[in-house]
Amino acid sequence: MSEGTATIRTRKFMTNRLLCRKQMVVDVLHPGKATLQKTEIREKLARMYKTTPDLIFCFGFRTQFGGGKSTGFALVYDTLDYAKKFEPKFRLARQGLYEKPVRPGRKQRKEKKNRVKKVRGTKKASVGNPKKAAA
């Protein structure tokens, strides 16, 4: 038993037509081993529901006290477009479907705002970072 593969069971399965997905609670039984990786769980679920693993988003896995069993959630989308539309950005980022736009730090943003405040009209757009250049 300790060398067998883990077992996945789904509970509370629901087809959410409004969000074009199927959502379920996932129970993973893995006696003698550590909690399964999310990628592995996604692959197993893909086999179960006959889709590709990139349409499956799973999260919230908590292992029960003592080990051997963990419970989490999984969403299986109909298409990737719907997934990109409805899924929160951080979960997309976990799977590499979204890159967070890198922006200047908080302090920079606030300083820029204050500089922009001083100027009126179309000159606001060309504020840039003159102070930094000057300093």
Partner 1 sequence: MDGDLEKATALLQDIQAKCQDSTNHVNDLCKRAVAWEFNTSKGISFLEVKYQMLLSYLVNLTYLMLRKAGGQSIHGDETVLRLVEIRTVLEKMRPIDQKLKYQVDKVVRLAATGGAASDDPMRFKANPDSLESKLASDSEEGSDSEDDDDQSSKLYKPPKLAAVHYDGDETVLEKKQKQVESQRKRALSSAILQDLKEQYHDGPTEIREAKDMHRLKATKMMMEKERYEEDNFMRLPMSKKERQNQKQLAGMSSLNSVTYFGSFNPLDLEEGGGEGFSNKRRKMDKSKGKSKKGGKKKGFKKKRRH
Task: State the minimum distance, in angstroms, from the CB of residue 73 to partner 1.
Answer: 5
* Residue 77 CA, distance from chain mean position: 13
Task: State the minimum distance, in angstroms, from the CB of residue 76 to partner 1.
Answer: 13
Task: State the minimum distance, in angstroms, from the CB of residue 60 to partner 1.
Answer: 5
Distance of alpha carbon 56 from alpha carbon 42, whole angstroms: 6
The DSSP symbol for 124 reads G
Return the number of the residue (33 or 112) whose C-beta is nearest partner 1.
33
Structure-token pair, residue 26: 């996932």
Q: Using CB under 8 A as the criterion, which residues of the chain lie in contact with partner 1 when the complex forms? A: 1-2, 7, 9, 11-12, 23, 25, 27, 29, 31-32, 34-35, 60, 62-69, 73, 75
Cα 108–Cα 114–Cα 117 angle in degrees, nearest 5: 140
